[in-house]
Structure 1
Amino acid sequence: MTTDSNGILTTRTGFRFEVRRARPEDEPALAEFFTHVTPDDLRFRFLGGVKAVSHERLVAMTRSDDAGIHNFVAFSVDGMLIAVATLACDQLRRHGEVAICTREDHKHLGVSWELLSYIAKYAEDLGLDTIESIENRENRAAIELERDMGFTVTTYPDDPALLLVRRQLGFIAPS
């Protein structure tokens, strides 16, 4: 991951974007963002049959009163919201669950890789030991990306349609 002094990340493809914590004023951009996400990506992000993201969910993604929930937004240098991410920490602040969603027209640029790398570093700075994600088995692209970044993949307990991907922090992913 390459970050310049202004907090701009640059992917392996040369695409540049900024990541920051979500704020209440991001809600309209977040609502618009989800209109550019495929139905499968909505299903993978929320692990269910979500056809539209509710106002309540948008509020939760922009206004967290829980110190263990960290919501992030990623903007292209021209100001377009291109990806969102959440890191939800357990009460002991040892483990975190990650969820990422990227606009359909900004896939294959390295955004998800850089955003996950950014979140992993953020989680490590918080003192977390591991990060994990619950993935639908059909979400092959995300599972492959996570494997490439050093995550291990196991069957999710109680649901054969899901997988648990987990990474110990402090591990340096191959470049």
Structure 2
Amino acid sequence: MVKKNSKKAAQPATIARNKRATFEYKFDEKFEAGLSLMGWEVKSIRAGKINISESYVMLKNGEAFLHHCHITPLHAASTHVVCDPTRPRKLLLNRRELDRLAGLVERQGYAIVPISMYWRKGAWVKVEIGLGKGKKAHDKRDDIKQRDWDIEKARVMKNK
């Protein structure tokens, strides 16, 4: 009898994805960062009440903060505290990663943008942030043309 492996490869469960970021920026590096949250924020995230489409990362005093990440408070979970849905949330990164990010942002004009948010090991909220530069209009048009061509090519191959 074959023994089944009880430990499954835990795939990170995606909470939110910033689709616009991959269209607006070309990412050179990606980092995984923890997120410092309050209790009501975790409950709201579990309920899916989060939007990271307009959020960005700012470096201040050697620390990284996620700005304009909108977490809508649940009425039942946040009755005893005053909730600020768009407060800056601290990102948990290593000192080496923070120094690298700060150097590239200051010297070479990179931007730091959140790409996705997901659960790690079922309990920790992680944010995938990308270090990249903004695309020009012609680069965006090239991406659209390439995507349309890939769709058309798949359609033709399917019919053969």
Shorter-normalised TM-score: what interval?
under 0.3
TM-score (norm 1): 0.24
Structure index of larger Rg:
2
Q: TM-score, normalised by structure 2?
A: 0.26
